[in-house]
């Protein structure tokens, strides 16, 4: 392998022979004689002069330290000789060490200046030897002197003269110490330890400079330097310096590698690597580890130096770096770049093995451009495989083979045969004739000169002052009676309402000191004359349970509640946009026009609003539709077009006539405009990476003909025009109608891959967002792994955009994957964003988050019986699941195994390993969700969540995985006050406690039975499950049951736990589960709370409290100070329980609260 500093020097046809280092790498290189060329250096005369000045300034300190009783006589003699004009490396090092010692607290580092002085006066051989001698000279200032220098420097940094007098210089302090009569002064001694090694990397620029001077020295001077350094290798430190400065002596590095003292120092090991000249040196150093501190920087200087010395032999070492470090560390990225520079196959293969990383993919594209033949050979097996990187590899291959089809000849015949899917994309299907294409794709308006028309702007138009509420029959009464269990709205006893200080609470409201629950309670329960003026002062975006309290507020206050309704609806349009439906108002009209234009999650509310108000909305939109150009005018125009589609253009033009004939004419022109002719002011430019020739042809419906390249380019333009948050260009529907949906989705995926392969330029972000317009379920499955990986590649914004794509696709599969991200993603911000998208979809589908969670449980490809067959060829195994959803396999003879056996000689060589991998993957995948789903069903039991019979059959009984949990539980069917307990039989029919078949009514609600619901039948159910040997996924039939004492029933306090002690771990765990509900991050105040039926809370006070960011060592024990029932969570105040009684709670809530607090305060390990 040859080396080159300029890639242009590589002769044609020899792409595999040249290792070229880019200029930035060369600038950081530690050069070696015979290696890559670096420019020579000049001595820095100014620095040399500053060193001479420093010697003069410190001369008294130097003389005093050399004269100290404990100073080594040899050092004294040789330093004085050097100062007297006889050059001496040890003496020069001693002088420099004395001066450097007085500068240890932040003065200028003098060593580089002394190196320049030595170079100027004595040459590189002397300078190298003197620096090496520094390795055995020790000048240690006593702690008292260091403290004095620190105090003086601190005084000097403050203005004015301190009380202790003017600050003294470090030189004065050091001189006083050196002249100390009663002690040893400050001696200059020899040392053989590595005390100075921590300065090596601080002085790396100095050492590299000395090494560069030696590289450019003539042969005689270089040999002199080697000879002189050979005489100054007494200590391990000196051995290391000499080995670094003279990398042409590998035996010196061998000596260092034999020194356990040197190899035990991470900085030293890193330093010595710059002299490695043999693969065995890398092996001696072992694998890179964190004590090296390599993660603190890219280490390009070290790795580049290794490439200069060893070329492709560095590949195993670079692989070890990639295995040891995080992909986000600088050294990891540098190692990948280094692999891309090495022309050897093993380097390219190392990148191919890690194509899951963004940095690797970008470097592979670069390397493929330099060495296309190598790329085609090594990427072909990946493109033909089933790994997640197959798409990327296929994309790169396609681009290379389109550019040079002859490259295919470099691929082995057997691999070429497997490349059929990739090669198929190169085979062009017959293109449709222009006459057979939609006019938009044959002759789009952006290819023609645009007609110049200036829209009419009529400023100063005002909307009608009329504002009113338009209710559907009975709607206002329903809103007024909305069931509301929000803490602040929960009804109080009459005596409490009468005695409450409403005026004081109104004052707190105005001062912004009430929490949302208090604000809601005041507005819903206070006297009208007191609270109606407060509506305009609402100042929070907290929308918790707004779907309960806001309809009641609107029903009570009518138009006066509009500001609150608008604020809440704008904050979460999908969930709360419906509260605006009754309001016929200009501001609401503009909001609805905006949502109709650009907000998918608010669009259904907008359509409903325009459907309710119809032509009455037109006057509210006309002033904006005739106003200045901008988003508001475009939204109003879109809304008028929407209304015209439903009611015709005539009544809208007639309404516009109220503003004059010109206004009517302008609106008539608008309504007659072809939406395909409405183009952005600046058309997007399609980058070279999106060349249609590099992309698969979109097929027309029927799949027998394809879009021509020009039409494909127009499709790209349409996709680029359709920006997120705005209505897509109407021509998108033309494309969807013309093209095969699967082919179009595949085309979109190829666009994304080409964009990623080109480094994902931000200006072309449409390459990702277009998937939301033309993607399908397969797009979702392929995109989700990328979304999960992107935050770890410093691409969080791209991951968030990916979530928007999943939400835009909006299918059940997209929902499933969004839910998985919201549950399991390690990046908190992305989890929260995914949850927002889920809530938007849930609102759009009119589902609760629990219903969404049901739909988001994957079935992992399990069959109708809840298992799968794994085929080894001559033998087969059936997968089953136990009560904890742990998979097992059943042999053909009925024997149960925890795992599949290793494939044997007689098994199919392809099927058996694939089946083994499939079972291993299944185990990992199910483990990731099993505990969550079991806990979700347990929580459903304790909270009383019910579901329809259809949902029960679809998402539990008929679900391949959830069936294994559902069949191990007792369920309740409730219909018209009748409750029947049942279980699921093996044939998936329902059976009651007598084991008779039971058929619930289609309108029945189904929920998990709590043992308290089973009453006297609990024993029968327990016996039945024992007879059938049914193991339960959690404690149901054997669950501890607790009841209140008579005293507790009559009280709002649960005194049995007061004074009990819980470990920090258990209390913290409770705070992160059910006992975190409603606390909104305020657990640090010394309490945790659990929501119970009726919207109230059971609150447990903790002392000292969990703390913000605290951990077990800070608060090993938590004492329960009080347990009480409250309307809202918060710290305990005397009488906080009010008139609440635990006896009024649901017995299930009572039992579960006692179970949970008992577990928390029980002795034992942290949970």
Domain shared by 1019 and 1050, yes or no: no
Please compute Rg for the chain using Cα positions: 39
Q: How far apart are CA 749 and CA 434, in angstroms?
A: 25
Considering the domain architecture, whether residues 205 and 117 belong to the same structural domain is answered as yes
Name the token pair of 339: 């692999």
Name the nearest CA neighbour of 64 among 148, 189, 185: 185
> Contact at 8 Å (CB) between 1006 and 1000?
yes
Model confidence band, residue 696 (pLDDT cutoffs 50, 70, 90)? confident
Whole-number pLDDT of residue 1064:
86
More confident site: 948 or 164: 948
Q: Which two tokens stand for residue 981?
A: 């307990």
Torsion, Cα 610 615 620 623, to 10 degrees, reads 120
Report if residue 37 sits inside a domain: no
Question: Greater confidence, 752 or 833?
Answer: 752
Better pLDDT: 566 or 157: 566
CA 566 to chain CA centroid, Å, is 32
**Are 806 and 768 in contact, with CB atoms under 8 Å apart?**
no
Q: Phi and psi at residue 690, in whole multiples of 5°?
A: -95, 30
**Is pLDDT at 494 greater than 70 in this prediction?**
no
Q: Read off the pLDDT band of 401 (50, 70, 90).
A: confident
User: What's the whole-number mean pLDDT along residues 619-634?
Assistant: 93
Using 50, 70 and 90 to split pLDDT, how confident is the model at 680?
confident
Q: Give counts: helices (H), strands (E), the chain.
A: 58, 19
Q: Rounded to whole angstroms, what are the CA distances from 44 to 48, 99, 119, 659, 1121?
A: 6, 19, 9, 81, 72
The predicted model gives 222-238 an average pLDDT of 92
- Among 170-184, 805-819, 1012-1026, which is the least confidently predicted range? 170-184
The most confident of the ranges 171-175, 177-181, 437-441 is 437-441
Which candidate, 203, 45, 215, 212, places its Cα nearest to that of 120?
A: 45
The 3-state secondary structure of 626-678 reads CCCCCHHHHHHHHHHHHHHHHHCCHHHHHHHHHHCHHHHHHHHHHHHCCHHHC
- In the prediction, which pLDDT does 162 show? 42
Q: What is the pLDDT of residue 639?
A: 93
What does pLDDT average to over the chain? Answer: 85
Identify the CA nearest to 952 among candidates 941, 961, 963. Answer: 963
C-alpha triplet 492, 495, 498: angle, nearest 5°: 90
pLDDT at 791: 87
Average pLDDT over residues 553-576: 92
Res 976 pLDDT > 50? yes
**What count of residues does the chain have?**
1167
Same domain, 644 and 694: no
Q: Please state the rounded mean pLDDT for residues 426-437.
A: 88
CA distance 606 to 627: 21
Question: pLDDT at position 484, please?
Answer: 66
Give me the residues paired with residue 568 across strands. Answer: none
The answer to whether the beta carbons of residues 272 and 244 sit under 8 Å apart is yes
Single out the residue in 204, 229, 246 at which a domain terminates: 246
Average pLDDT over residues 64-91: 93
Confidence label for 17 from pLDDT (cuts 50, 70 and 90): low
Residue 366 contacts residue 340 (beta carbons within 8 Å): yes
**Same structural domain, 487 and 550:** yes
Q: Answer with the residue of higher pLDDT: 415 or 1070.
A: 1070
Domain co-membership, 766 together with 836: yes
How far apart CA 486 and CA 475 sit, in angstroms, is 21
- 722-755 pLDDT per residue, tens: 988 677 888 999 999 999 999 999 999 999 989 9
Instruction: Check whether 1047 has a pLDDT greater than 60.
Output: yes
- Among residues 654, 677, 700, the one where a domain terminates is 677
Prior bond of 1104 cis (ω within 30°): yes
Token duo for residue 250: 């590998």
Least confident interval from 278-292, 848-862, 942-956, 996-1010 = 278-292
The CB-based long-range contact list for 946-949 (8 Å cut-off, 24+ gap) reads 946/974, 946/1005, 946/1006, 946/1007, 947/851, 947/854, 947/1005, 947/1006, 947/1007, 948/1005, 948/1006, 949/973, 949/1000, 949/1001, 949/1002, 949/1003, 949/1004, 949/1005, 949/1006
What is the tens place of the pLDDT at every residue in 1104-1157? 887 644 444 566 789 999 999 988 787 887 777 778 899 999 999 999 999 999
CA distance 586 to 467: 8
Same domain, yes or no: 345 and 479: no
648 Rama class: left (phi>0) / alpha (psi -120 to 50) / beta: left
Q: If pLDDT is split at 50, 70 and 90, which confidence band does 1004 have?
A: very high
Query: Residue 1142's pLDDT is what?
Result: 94
The yes-or-no verdict on residue 842 having pLDDT over 70 is yes
Q: What's residue 643's pLDDT?
A: 93
In this prediction, residue 138 has a pLDDT band, given cuts at 50, 70 and 90, of confident
Distance CA 369, CA 380 (A): 16
| Most confident by average pLDDT, 519-523, 578-582, 832-836 | 578-582
The answer as to whether 383 is a domain residue is yes
Q: For position 521, what pLDDT does the model report?
A: 81
Determine the pLDDT at residue 193: 63
pLDDT value, residue 15: 54
Q: Which is more confident, 922 or 822?
A: 922
Q: Are residues 1019 and 1114 in the same domain?
A: no
Question: Do 58 and 10 have their domain in common?
Answer: no
Q: Partners of 879 in the beta sheet?
A: 868, 889
**How many distinct structural domains can be found in the chain?**
7
Quick check: helix, strand or coil at residue 179? Answer: coil
Specify whether 383 is located in the same domain as 354: no
Task: Please give the pLDDT value at position 175.
Answer: 60
The answer to whether residues 183 and 296 belong to one domain is no
Query: 267-300 burial string, b = 16+ CB within 10 Å, else e?
Result: bbbbbbbbbbbeeebbebbeebeeebebbeebbb
pLDDT for the residue numbered 151: 65
For residue range 323-339, list pLDDT tens digits in order. Answer: 888 887 888 999 999 99
Residue with the bigger pLDDT between 915 and 416: it is: 915
Q: Does residue 447 lie within any of the structural domains?
A: no
Tell me how far apart the alpha carbons of residues 754 and 763 are, in angstroms, rounded to a whole number.
Answer: 14
Give the model's pLDDT for residue 187: 83
Where is pLDDT greater, at 1073 or 1104?
A: 1104
Mean pLDDT of 906-923: 90
The per-residue pLDDT for range 34-60, each reduced to its tens digit, is: 899 899 999 999 999 999 998 998 888
Sequence-distant (≥ 6) Cβ neighbours of residue 287 within 8 angstroms: 320, 323, 324
Identify whether 38 is part of a domain: no
Range 53-75 average pLDDT: 89
Considering the domain boundaries, does residue 386 fall inside one? yes
Percent of the chain, pLDDT > 70?
Answer: 87
* Greater model confidence, 9 or 1021: 1021
Is residue 11 predicted with pLDDT exceeding 50?
no
How far CA 18 is from CA of 4, 312, 735, in Å, comes to: 6, 11, 48
From 1027, 1054, 1083, the end of a domain falls on 1027
What would the mean pLDDT of 13-24 be, rounded to a whole number?
Answer: 72
Tokens of 1042: 């607790």
Tell whether the model's pLDDT for residue 451 goes beyond 50. Answer: yes
Q: How many other C-beta atoms are found inside a 10 Å radius of the C-beta of residue 1110?
A: 14
Please check the confidence at residue 313 and state whether its pLDDT lies above 70.
Answer: yes
Same domain, 590 and 494: yes
Report if residue 265 sits inside a domain.
Answer: no
Stronger pLDDT, 185 or 616, i.e. the higher one: 616
Question: What is the pLDDT, as a whole number, of residue 1105?
Answer: 82
Domain of residue 323: give its range: 1-32+277-368
Euclidean distance between CA atoms 151 and 805, whole angstroms:
60
Question: 389 and 355 in contact (C-beta within 8 Å)?
Answer: yes
* Together in a domain, 77 and 100: yes
State residue 817's pLDDT score: 85
CA distances from residue 1132 to 387, 1089, 1124, 1144 in whole angstroms, order as listed: 57, 11, 8, 20
In sequence order, which residues have a C-beta less than 8 Å from that of residue 159 and are 6 or more positions away?
none
Q: Is 446 contained in some domain?
A: no
Distance CA 641, CA 663 (A): 15
Query: Which tops the pLDDT comparison, 614 or 424?
Result: 614
pLDDT for 839? 78
Q: With 60 as the cut, is the pLDDT of residue 346 above it?
A: yes
* H or E element at residue 887: strand 887-890
Task: Identify the pLDDT of residue 119.
Answer: 95
The closest of 830, 804, 854 to 601, measured between CA atoms, is: 804
* Residues 423 and 407 sit within 8 Å (Cβ to Cβ): no
Q: Is the pLDDT of residue 450 over 80?
A: no
Give the confidence band of 285 by pLDDT, cuts at 50, 70, 90. Answer: low
Closest CA to 197 of 253, 160, 236: 236
Percent over 90 (pLDDT), the chain: 50
Residue 729 lies in a domain: yes
Signed CA dihedral, 550, 555, 560, 563: sign only: positive
Q: ∠ at Cα 176 (175, 182), nearest 5°?
A: 125
Pick from 135, 254, 145: nearest CA to 198: 135
pLDDT at 165: 41
- pLDDT of residue 4 exceeding 60, the answer is no
Q: What is the mean pLDDT of residues 465-484?
A: 88
């Amino acid at each position: 392998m040859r080396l080159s500093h300029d890639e242009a020097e590589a002769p044609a046809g020899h792409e595999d022979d040249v290792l070229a280092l880019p200029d930035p790498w060369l600038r950081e290189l530690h050069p070696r004689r015979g290696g890559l060329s670096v420019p020579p250096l000049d001595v820095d005369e100014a620095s040399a002069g500053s060193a001479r000045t420093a010697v003069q300034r410190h001369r008294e300190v130097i003389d005093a330290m050399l004269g100290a009783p404990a100073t080594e006589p040899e050092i004294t003699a040789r330093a004085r000789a050097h100062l007297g004009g006889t050059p001496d490396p040890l003496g020069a090092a001693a002088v420099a060490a004395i001066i450097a010692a007085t500068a240890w607290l932040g003065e200028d580092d003098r060593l580089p200046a002394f190196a320049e002085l030595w170079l100027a006066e004595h040459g590189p051989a002397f300078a190298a030897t003197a620096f090496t001698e520094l390795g055995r000279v020790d000048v240690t200032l006593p702690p008292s002197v260091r403290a004095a220098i620190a105090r003086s420097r601190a005084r000097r940094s403050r203005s004015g003269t301190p009380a202790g007098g003017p600050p003294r210089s470090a030189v004065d302090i050091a001189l006083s110490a050196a002249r100390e009569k009663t002690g040893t002064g400050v001696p200059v001694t020899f040392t053989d330890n590595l005390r100075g090694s921590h300065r090596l990397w601080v002085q790396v620029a100095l050492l590299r400079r000395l090494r560069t001077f030696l590289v450019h020295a003539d042969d005689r001077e270089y040999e002199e330097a080697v000879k002189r350094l050979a005489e100054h290798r007494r200590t391990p430190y000196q051995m290391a310096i000499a080995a670094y400065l003279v990398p042409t002596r590998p035996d010196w590095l061998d000596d260092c590698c034999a020194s356990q003292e040197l190899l035990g120092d991470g900085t030293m090991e890193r330093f010595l690597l710059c002299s490695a000249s043999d693969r065995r040196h890398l092996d001696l150093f072992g694998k890179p580890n964190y004590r090296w501190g390599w993660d603190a920087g890219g280490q390009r200087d070290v790795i580049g130096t290794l490439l200069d010395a060893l070329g492709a032999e560095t590949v195993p070492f670079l692989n070890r770096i990639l295995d040891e470090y995080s992909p986000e560390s600088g050294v990891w990225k540098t190692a990948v770049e280094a692999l891309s520079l090495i022309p050897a196959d093993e380097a390219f293969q190392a990148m191919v093995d890690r194509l899951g990383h963004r940095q690797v993919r970008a470097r592979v594209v670069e390397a493929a451009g330099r060495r296309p033949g190598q790329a085609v050979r090594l990427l072909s097996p990946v493109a033909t495989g089933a790994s997640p990187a197959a798409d990327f590899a296929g994309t790169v291959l396609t681009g290379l083979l389109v550019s040079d089809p002859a490259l295919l000849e470099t691929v082995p015949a057997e691999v070429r045969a497997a490349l059929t899917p990739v090669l198929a994309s190169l085979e062009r299907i017959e293109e449709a004739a222009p006459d057979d294409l939609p006019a938009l794709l044959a002759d789009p308006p952006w290819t023609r000169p645009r007609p110049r028309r200036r829209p009419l702007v009529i400023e100063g138009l005002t909307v009608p002052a009329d504002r009113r509420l338009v209710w559907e029959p009975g709607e206002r009464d329903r809103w007024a009676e909305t069931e509301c269990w929000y803490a602040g709205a929960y009804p109080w006893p009459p005596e409490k309402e009468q005695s409450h200080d409403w005026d004081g609470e109104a004052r707190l409201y105005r001062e912004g000191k009430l929490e949302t629950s208090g604000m809601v309670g005041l507005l819903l329960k206070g006297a009208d004359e007191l609270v109606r003026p407060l509506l305009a002062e609402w100042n929070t975006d907290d929308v918790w349970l707004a779907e309960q309290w806001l309809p009641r507020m609107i029903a009570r206050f009518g138009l006066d509640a509009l500001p609150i309704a608008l604020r809440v609806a704008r904050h979460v349009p999908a969930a709360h946009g419906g509260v605006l439906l009754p309001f016929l108002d200009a501001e609401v009209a503009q909001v609805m026009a905006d949502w109709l234009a650009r907000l998918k999650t608010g669009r259904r509310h907008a359509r409903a609003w325009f459907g309710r108000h119809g032509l009455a909305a037109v006057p509210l939109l006309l002033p904006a539709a005739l106003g200045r150009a901008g988003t508001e005018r475009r939204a109003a125009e879109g809304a008028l077009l929407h209304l015209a589609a439903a009611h015709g253009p005539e009544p809208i033009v007639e309404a516009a006539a109220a503003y004059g004939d010109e206004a009517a004419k302008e609106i008539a022109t608008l309504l007659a405009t072809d939406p395909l002719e409405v183009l952005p002011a600046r058309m997007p430019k399609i980058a070279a990476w999106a060349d249609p020739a590099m992309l698969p042809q979109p097929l027309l419906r029927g799949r027998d003909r394809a879009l021509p390249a020009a039409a494909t380019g127009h499709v790209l333009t349409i996709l680029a025009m359709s920006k997120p948050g705005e209505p897509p260009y109407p021509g998108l529907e033309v494309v969807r109608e013309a093209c095969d949906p699967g082919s179009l989705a595949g085309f979109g995926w190829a666009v994304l891959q080409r964009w990623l392969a080109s480094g994902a330029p931000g200006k072309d972000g449409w390459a990702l967002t277009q998937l939301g317009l033309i993607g399908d379920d397969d797009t979702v499955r392929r995109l989700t792994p990328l979304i999960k990986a992107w935050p770890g590649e410093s691409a969080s914004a791209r991951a968030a955009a990916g979530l928007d794509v999943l939400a835009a696709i909006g299918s059940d599969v997209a929902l499933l994957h969004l839910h998985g991200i919201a549950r399991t993603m390690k990046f908190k911000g992305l989890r929260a964003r995914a949850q927002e998208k889920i809530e938007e979809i849930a609102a759009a589908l009119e589902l609760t988050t629990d219903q969404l969670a049901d739909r988001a449980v994957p079935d992992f490809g399990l069959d109708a019986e809840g298992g799968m067959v794994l085929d080894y060829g001559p033998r087969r195994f059936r997968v089953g699941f136990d009560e904890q959803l742990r998979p097992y396999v059943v042999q053909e003879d009925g024997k149960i195994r925890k795992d599949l056996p290793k494939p044997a000689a007689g098994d199919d060589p392809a099927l058996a390993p694939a089946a083994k991998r499939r079972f291993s993957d299944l185990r990992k995948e199910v483990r990731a969700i099993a505990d969550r789903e079991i806990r979700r069903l347990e929580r459903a039991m304790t909270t009383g969540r019910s579901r329809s019979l259809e949902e029960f059959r679809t998402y539990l009984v008929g679900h391949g995985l959830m069936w294994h949990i559902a069949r191990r539980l007792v369920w309740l069917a409730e219909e018209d006050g009748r409750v029947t307990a049942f279980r699921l039989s093996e044939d998936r029919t329902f059976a009651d406690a007598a084991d008779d078949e039971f058929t619930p009514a289609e309108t029945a609600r189904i929920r998990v039975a709590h043992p308290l619901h089973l009453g006297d039948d609990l024993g029968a159910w327990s016996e039945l499950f024992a007879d059938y040997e049914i193991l339960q996924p959690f404690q149901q039939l054997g669950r501890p049951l607790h009841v209140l004492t008579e005293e507790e029933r009559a009280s709002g306090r649960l005194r049995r736990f007061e004074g009990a002690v819980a470990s920090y771990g258990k209390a913290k765990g409770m705070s992160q589960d059910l006992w975190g509900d409603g606390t909104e991050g305020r657990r640090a105040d010394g309490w945790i709370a659990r929501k119970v039926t009726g919207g109230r809370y059971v609150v447990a006070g903790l002392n000292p409290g969990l703390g913000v960011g605290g951990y077990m060592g800070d608060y090993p024990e938590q004492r329960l100070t009080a347990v009480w029932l409250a309307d809202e969570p918060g710290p305990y105040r005397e009488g906080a329980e009010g008139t609440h009684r635990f006896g009024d709670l649901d017995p299930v809530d009572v039992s579960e609260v006692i179970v949970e607090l008992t577990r928390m305060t029980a002795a034992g390990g942290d949970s």
